[in-house]
Amino acid sequence: MKMLIGAAMLALCGLAAAQVTPPEVARQQQQELQRGDPPRWTRPDRTEAAQLATLRKEINAALREALAACKQQGAGANSDCVKEARSIAQSDLANARQIRLATRDMSRTFETSGK
């Protein structure tokens, strides 16, 4: 029984130690937070080519997330989950121009609260 309690305490200590951020990393994080977001994060894509490039990045990122979710489910490389994720990504990439046109005006903000 003492051994079990000791093992549990050791595991908890290990988890607590894993949560500590080294001081040099904490300082770097604080400096980055003070500088704010890089301008490229808030600068809109002005050209169609830039918008399509961003859309392709987003489609590929969504594919990576879907494949990671499939992997967590224990799905193999030939599973239905993986096939569906790849099929959706291929369809989205093939229709990227139509998707861009459909979402082009969604970046505008409209007041809908009635105030």
Domain locations in the chain as residue ranges: 48-104
Residue 65 confidence (pLDDT): 95
Q: Quote the distance between the C-alpha of residue 53 and its chain's center.
A: 17
Residue 38 confidence (pLDDT): 79
CA distance to 30, 46, 95, per residue, from 21 (Å): 12, 39, 44
Q: What is the pLDDT along the chain (115 residues), one digit of tens a residue?
A: 455 565 555 555 555 555 688 999 999 989 988 988 877 778 888 889 999 999 999 999 999 999 999 988 886 767 899 999 999 999 999 999 998 888 876 655 555 555 5
Residue 88 confidence (pLDDT): 95
